[in-house]
Structure 1
Amino acid sequence: MQHARLPNPFRSSTKVKILSLRNTTFFQSKFLFVCSLCLLFIFGITACSKKNPAESGTRGRKAGPVSVEVKVVQPELLLNTVSATGTILANEKAEIRPEMSGRIVKILFEEGANVQKNKLLIKMNDSDLQAQLKRNEAQAMLLNNDEFQKRKLLEIKAISQDEYDVAKSLMLVNQADKQLLEAQIAKTEIYAPFTGKVGLRAVSVGNYVASNTLIATIQQLDPVKIEFDVPEKYSSFIKPGMEISFSIDALDSVFMAKVYAVESAITTETRTLKVRALCSNKANLLNPGTFARVDMILERFPEAIKVPSEAVMTVLDGNSVFICKNGKAVVVPVKTGIRTDSEIQITQGISAGDSLITTGLLQLTNGAPVMVKKKKAETQTVPTKEKM
């Protein structure tokens, strides 16, 4: 009797696993093959891209001389100048203030008018002082007569010396009282201390003012002063008699002034030196308090060598420039002096007649060939019309 074979479940699962492993290995190998092709393609492109710049760089180095512009160095006038800001001041300024209290009875000036020196400006009430002065004068007559009589009596020994001395001292006290009253009366009148322009007044006739009350100001406006500060490093150049120029915002004109005084010490807070100059103001164009821009010429160099600022290269060893010599760029170390906004003075290194390279400096090396560009003004000619 035969028995039927039952299927082995373990055997069938083993076959399935073997087939799946084969498929996985096939796909992995195929994936690795594709990745390898991609990497080779990328490396090829990279190699080509690296090769092209090298070739282009080689072609660039073989392109020829660098195109530059040059300037023939010539000695020129160089001014060492310094600028400052200042303020215009009146030549003289005084405040009109009474020395004693009292009532104003007269104002003898117009606001904003010019007045002459010693002109009476203010008169204050002095009636009480005038009365005291008359009383003093009356007493003086009696005391003078008494002193005269006693002096005659003393000559004939009719009175003692002490009696005469009392009479004389009373007469002298009366004279001193008179001088005091006259001085007080003089204080009730205010005169112009100098010729100038009176400003706006702060009182009116009839006002009772205390001593030292501001009534008005008077200023002398011709000439005027210009006050400004100079940095201490330039202080040695500032001397009385030095000429300066200045301008103001209200006018386009340039005014000239002359230094007349210099402060004796440097201001420690700002490290500057205070300077004052005088300027004529006959036309009354300059008003006190105006802001001024001051320019000063400290030194003059009639045969200075100066070059554009962009032509000077600053390196660790110092400054240098490129000059064009026999068609090549040559590095020349230089020493510099005064610097302005656009130019630098060269004190050592180049001389008049050298061809200074002013453009293309970043592309140059020492000994590199150069080609000088001609300026447009030289290459272009202006056509002329013939007359018919």
Structure 2
Amino acid sequence: MNYNLSPGFTIRLHRRAITDPLRRVLVSGGLCCLALLAGCKGKGKEKEGKGGGPKVLQAEAVVVKAAPLSSVYQSSGTLLANEEISVYPEVSGRITAINFKEGTNIKKGDLLVQLFDSDIRAQIRKLNAQRELQIITKGRQDELLQINGISRQEYDNTVTQIAAIDADIAAGEAQLRRLQIRAPFDGVIGLRNVSVGAIVSMTTLITTIQQVNPLKLDFPVPEQYNGAIRTGDPVHFTVAALRDTLKGNITALQPLADATTRTITMRALVPNADRKLIPGAFANVFITLGRNNNAIMIPSQCIIPTTRDKKVAVLRNGKVDLVTVTTGMRLVAEVEIQHGLQPGDTVIATGIMQLKKDMEVKVTKIRE
């Protein structure tokens, strides 16, 4: 028969040993003594485990240092022509001349398209002839009026007729200008959609004109960055067609945020003298929101998230102190600490899920 008293203590008895009353008493007493010894030994081990103090954790740490940090926001933008129009005729008519070549530079005021205007020019010549006659009549009436040879009313009628003819001539010249389509600004003209002899109306698209130097760059930014970006700030961007990083300057900000995306559209002006950039191209935009020469950066893995805030384990006098911190900008593997840490603090970087306040920690390595 076996009796297990405690780990490491086993007594084996034979059935014959318990038949004798005296031996039974001796055996029972021996068993009691052994049980007491085993219990005392177990209690001695537990006390030793509790009295040995808290377990020392070995971990790696980071010494906090201040370093310069630039806050850069990346956005997606679109290049646009600085000025752009679609050319439509003001009146219906027949095209008699097209004076531009597709895709070439034009100057402000250049005659692009001429519509038929012979009838209006003939009407203007007729009005000019009538005006000359009335001018001669008025000269004669000036002499007669001085000797009272005509009434004042007759003289005033002649003056009025001259003024009416002048107004008709001005109206005819205005009609002539409407039949001439001229460039409103310097730029590059697009493809033409009409030919000489075509009958066009006010809905007929003739061509387009774009001013490509400089270009406009429109891009959205979150509304929380509205105060961090101002007119005149530099903007850097890249396009797929070029390897270089290009630069522009912000010229305008949309005064209201988009209700759907909660973003604000900003516009930059980009020089394009060599015409390497084209309107409509996609651009990756980089905006510097600010620069902090004394930013505190620690590895992202050092942050201990809680339900209410974020904490960092700081080693002070060999023991853990859980400090509440406020984080700022995040990089790929680091996070900015705005409040809670000072340069020179030692932050534990490994085993943070096992840490407790006032726990002893032995640093095995200081990370750079």
TM-score by length of structure 1 reads: 0.75
Matched, 1:368 2:339: no
Kindly state the Cα deviation for residue 317 of structure 1 after the two structures are TM-superposed: 5.0
Distance 1:166 1:371 in 2: 111
Distance 2:362 2:103 in 1: 72
Kindly state the Cα deviation for residue 64 of structure 1 after the two structures are TM-superposed: 7.1
> Could you tell me which residue of structure 2 aligns to residue 206 of structure 1?
197
Q: 1:104 aligns with which of 92, 95, 100?
A: 95
> Could you tell me which residue of structure 1 aligns to residue 217 of structure 2?
226
Matched, 1:274 2:265: yes
> Could you tell me which residue of structure 2 aligns to residue 357 of structure 1?
348
Matched, 1:85 2:76: yes
The answer on whether the counterparts of 1:81 and 1:296 sit within 8 Å (CA) in structure 2 is yes
Per-residue CA deviations over 1:315-337 (Å, capped at 9, x if unaligned) read 24522112344555443332333
Amino acid paired to 2:349: T
Matched, 1:172 2:163: yes
Kindly state the Cα deviation for residue 65 of structure 1 after the two structures are TM-superposed: 4.5
RMSD of aligned alpha carbons: 2.5
Per-residue CA deviations over 1:333-387 (Å, capped at 9, x if unaligned) read 3233333443222223222122222222223333233341477xx9xxxxxxxxx
Distance 1:339 1:306 in 2: 9
The answer on whether the counterparts of 2:61 and 2:366 sit within 8 Å (CA) in structure 1 is no
Matched, 1:126 2:98: no
Kindly state the Cα deviation for residue 293 of structure 1 after the two structures are TM-superposed: 2.2
The answer on whether the counterparts of 1:65 and 1:369 sit within 8 Å (CA) in structure 2 is yes
- Computing the radius of gyration from Cα coordinates, the structure with the larger value is 1
> Could you tell me which residue of structure 1 aligns to residue 16 of structure 2?
none
Kindly state the Cα deviation for residue 314 of structure 1 after the two structures are TM-superposed: 1.4
**Which segment drifts farther, 268-277 or 219-228?**
268-277
Superposition pairs for residues 130-149 of structure 1, below 5 Å? 130-149=121-140
Distance 2:310 2:261 in 1: 32
Q: Secondary structure at the match of 2:353?
A: helix
Distance 1:92 1:348 in 2: 48
> Could you tell me which residue of structure 2 aligns to residue 262 of structure 1?
253
**Which segment drifts farther, 83-92 or 332-341?**
332-341
Q: 1:83 to 1:68 in 2, by over 3 A?
A: same
**Count, aligned residues:** 318
Instruction: Flag as ranges the 4+ runs of structure 1 deviating above 6 A.
Output: 61-64
Q: Secondary structure at the match of 1:305?
A: strand
Per-residue CA deviations over 1:101-156 (Å, capped at 9, x if unaligned) read 11111111111111122222112221111111211121122111112222221221
Per-residue CA deviations over 1:155-190 (Å, capped at 9, x if unaligned) read 211111111111111111111111111111122222
Q: Secondary structure at the match of 2:197?
A: coil
Distance 2:64 2:177 in 1: 75
Q: Secondary structure at the match of 1:69?
A: strand
Kindly state the Cα deviation for residue 96 of structure 1 after the two structures are TM-superposed: 1.8
Amino acid paired to 2:328: G
Matched, 1:252 2:257: no
Kindly state the Cα deviation for residue 259 of structure 1 after the two structures are TM-superposed: 0.7
Q: 1:292 aligns with which of 283, 295, 301?
A: 283
Give the structure with the larger strand fraction. 2
Q: Secondary structure at the match of 2:191?
A: coil
Aligned residues with identical type, % of pairs: 37
> Could you tell me which residue of structure 2 aligns to residue 48 of structure 1?
none
> Could you tell me which residue of structure 1 aligns to residue 179 of structure 2?
188
Matched, 1:335 2:326: yes
Q: 2:295 aligns with which of 288, 291, 304?
A: 304
> Could you tell me which residue of structure 2 aligns to residue 384 of structure 1?
none
> Could you tell me which residue of structure 2 aligns to residue 238 of structure 1?
229
Distance 2:190 2:315 in 1: 68
> Could you tell me which residue of structure 2 aligns to residue 155 of structure 1?
146
Distance 2:122 2:307 in 1: 91
Per-residue CA deviations over 1:42-94 (Å, capped at 9, x if unaligned) read xxxxxxxxxxxxx9xx8xx9997544322221101122332322211111112
**Structure 2, gaps ≥5 residues long:** 1-45
Matched, 1:345 2:336: yes
Amino acid paired to 2:314: I
The answer on whether the counterparts of 1:65 and 1:371 sit within 8 Å (CA) in structure 2 is no
Superposition pairs for residues 27-106 of structure 1, below 5 Å? 65-106=56-97
Distance 2:53 2:192 in 1: 86
